[in-house]
Amino acid sequence: MNREQKIIAFCCNWCSYAAADLAGISRLQYPASIRIIRVMCSGMVHPEMVMHALAQGAAGVMIIGCHLGECHYIKGNEMALARAEVITDTLEDLGYASEQFQLTWVSSAEPERLVEAFRNMCGRLAVLQSEQSADHIM
């Protein structure tokens, strides 16, 4: 995958950001293209923010929140789930690939799961990129 590529990961303060912290302390390796932005809750990531990141050149965007039922603000992640559908559909309308967006749940005690999610996203984007460059050649 392209070294310059960036993946923006919006992590909620209470679970996924804590997991990222723990991943750091535990010296778990994850791809350098990940850029974490801490938000208070996954429910506050408006679709505009996702589109903005892509429009500014991010290769992919992730929203990572607490498991359903465990949101610190009770229903924030349910809101994120409803919006994710809108985001996925809209990405295609706007000429992006739905693969460029991912919503994931991670608890504060699951750094491995977080790192796994990061790796998966990178992998997906790499496949997408090779498909697109193949299109160019054809």
Partner 1 sequence: MKPKLNFEWLHACSGCEISMLNWGEQLLDLFDQVEIVHFPLLMDHKYGGQLGEGAPLSLPEADIGLVSGGVAHQEHLQVLQEMRKQCRTLIALGTCATHGGIPAMRNQWSTADTLHTVFTAGTVDKEISPSSAPAFLDRVYSIDEKVRVDVSLPGCPPQPQLIGAVIKALVNKDAFQLPQKSVCETCPTIREGKKKMAPVQRFLHNADYDRDQPVSEMQCLLEQGLVCMGPVTAGGCGGKDTPLCLQARVPCRGCYGPVQPGGNQLLDMMNALASNGIDHRALVDRKSLLRFSGAHGLLKPARKKN
Which spans of this chain sit near ligand FES (rule: CB under 6 A)? Answer: 12, 14-15, 41-43, 65-66, 71-73, 76-77
End-to-end CA distance of the chain: 21
Q: Which does 109 bind (CB under 5 to 8 A by kind): ligand FES, partner 1, none?
A: none
Angstrom distance (rounded) from CA 122 to CA 104: 14
CB-nearer residue toward partner 1: 1 or 128:
128
Q: Which does 66 bind (CB under 5 to 8 A by kind): partner 1, ligand FES, none?
A: ligand FES
Binding mask 35-74 for partner 1 (x = CB under 8 A): -----------xxx--x---x-------------------
Angstrom distance (rounded) from CA 134 to CA 53: 25
CB-nearer residue toward ligand FES: 59 or 87:
87
Q: Which does 102 bind (CB under 5 to 8 A by kind): ligand FES, partner 1, none?
A: none
Comparing CA positions, the residue from 68, 77, 85, 88 lying closest to residue 40 is 77
Helix residue ranges per DSSP H, 35-105? 47-55, 76-93
Give the DSSP per-residue string, 4-38.
Answer: T--EEEEEETTTHHHHHHHHHHTT----TTEEEEE
Name the residues that contact partner 1, by CB under 8 A. 46-48, 51, 55, 79, 82-83, 85-86, 89-90, 92-97, 131-132, 135
